[in-house]
Structure 1
């Protein structure tokens, strides 16, 4: 171990002890604060539960007072009045949820009741004796094996003497149903310590042991229980079931109005967790701070020792990087030259593909140019003869035909020149019908030579699209010539050309050839199904057509037709007047 690390052997244990002591102080303080907050909340919960129970019992008390002087309970010495009184009490019990309603005379003999199994004599009960004294009697106990709370209201004769008492029996289990299972655990015990009302049914029947702390089950077993005081708070540690906390804060509150004592058991686990989190946070901060200082000190000293070694390595690596950098520059220059050569080669291949296509169309083009030339010659000779004869009108008509044929030849030559040079033009309004007419006119000689039947339902008027006239003609020419090539060895040769004005605007070109072997690759450069040769093309036509259609916002797709053969669809953007504006 290095000499400068030895002083840390003493500092680290002292620092850890200090952190442990500080953590303990923070935990104790945080636990005290959390218990105080928990106690205040427990007091509120207990007060709320006590008020709820007192309010529910108060309803039955008021009902007993109101029913005591009901006219239906008068002159019960008459048998016919007793039956009506029983029906009245039964109806009130059904509507209020009372366990039983009893009317007894001054001697405690039951005259009328809501239930058939009501006791016959209640003179010995403390609540009835209290009522005979002219006051409201109350008590709790069992009735028919069920927990009940009794309210006895005196019934006065016209002279003011007590003539009997109305006893209303409240069903405690019915009252508990509204708040059973709520948190926290609440229980109400009587003067003897028995649990009479609670929202935890497993505690029913438990009572206070002889020592006066905790509870004992009805079978006499106390279960795991321990209690202690912490900062003025009574803590119970108990193992009484899964629905009761293992450690709880215990608070009690007397309820003289109902003769019970309310108690609450609030789980202290959140307080312990909160104190633990606070202590852990302080410990983590202290340890992180100490570790940071320790690491910073070691790092500073280590860096000082490693600096010399690092400087030597940097110098060595700098020399190596300089050499590598020079080699990389040379490789980059070589790659740039190779890319430039590849670009030139690709451009040459594209141009070669176009010239190959022109070569394939040379016979048809020669025919298309030869016919107008022969016609021009014939019209010129005829015009000269008509001039000699003085028929100027016929000679003028011949000159018009000669001019029209010359424009046709010029248009064919212009298309060929543009196709060969790959001229670019700004997208503008193009008549799709005129472009198709021009292409079909150029290939008409070859269609006749190959014996191909043309099916073309030509629209009566122009169909305007956004594009380039020459480039669109190049696309249609490429698709038509490919279709003618595909049908060379077919017995049935049929070419279908259709224009669907949509939307979307679509041009369909379908043949009866053998179809497409791999539709996914037909637009890839250099992909072709033709034999390699000077006159069969290099697989660039469809790739060029795809780029031309994309250049003015269109799309081209190819697939195999359901009737056999290949089918190409060219989707174009219709020309909108807003585009022109």
Structure 2
């Protein structure tokens, strides 16, 4: 008893450990998938923020180039009164929100400024680059601590010599104002690896750590930080305040056009929550199944123990109850024979059910073949009678009808053979109208039996698409059969098939699609349990077939019922190549 109890405890603990391992695997897989999705979204957000910053700064670059060509600038460089140039600079700065506009001569001496009383950026390196005929640009901080970005455009004379420089300075605080506090956290580091622009003001001027990834405050002690690699992703663990995530996906985007590097910190908490929910769902299902299996096993063990006790008591009374024991054995044998007979009867019933289903499927096509056979016999008798009466024209007409009936039977048999053939060839040139026509012919007996009204709109000419005749026929037969099943028992049963260019639209008057987003998922089915072909794989297989030919299949709800659209690739010389 003790050993059995220990064994059961060991099995339970082993099963729990297995479920925990499976849940951990599901969590890890889900976490990686969610991180990939977060990385894509974060890269999009970072690209958007980078493009916005670059675009806003580019306006000041173009402004510097345009102002450098203004006549008042050339007049000020020629020695005329600079007051008009300063008035022009002030007017432009007020209209464009520029922090300052300055004009220097070829030696770097400031001649005019929009706001001469305000301390500005050290523009000597920018002026030196502009003196070489190139566009100078850079970032820095004024004496008052204002973060600015400046562009220096050279001023050329008639001989293309640099006579001066126009420097346009932009206040970065005004640019940041529109997106401070937005998600995710984005910051831009300059050439000195310091945070110069960001939507989180608390990390401005933080410096890149010399020991590896991460940032350190400009003043004061370093705050908690750690990082690790997770696949192809870098995750930062932060303790930088309530407005920055504790665990963040670190993304980088170089911006050489402004000499900075854009970086983003995307919170990974949603990815962890999603992975945890997936792992919890898997663990819950496994534990529920294990609990049911354990209860069933315990019940079986209890019954086995009771049976063992009963056998022991019977063995003790064998001497006194031998006749009764013999009778019980005889009854047990009869019961086994009855069970064997019952099992055989059940197997026969299953086989009969299979044969009945096969007969139901073949009844419609048998009728399609039997009707032309009877017509052929009638036309043959008529032709013989007309020949005896010396009426060859009428006999020829009956023989022509016999030929038409024979062709009709051959077409039905051809469609059956084509539908049953195993097709493994690559995509070929296929007549879409002929494939749809063949599928309709195969399903016509079923539609006639279910009293479905068919409206078939086929083009006059062939519609050549890329695909396989058998596999595309399987798709359309499946869609038509599903539509007939959906309309079963309804007052109005109408099926419409339209071919528009290289698209086939199949609409019915059924109840519609309950969840269109899941209709192509494997094992998804709205048919009752036990119904034929109710495994939910038909539409999933059809989806894969159409995708393999480069097409698309969509399911939606129309005004009267479900509408399925199959879009295929037209056959061209490029597709053939």
After TM superposition, the score normalised by the length of structure 1 is: 0.50
Indicate the structure (1 or 2) with the bigger Cα radius of gyration.
1
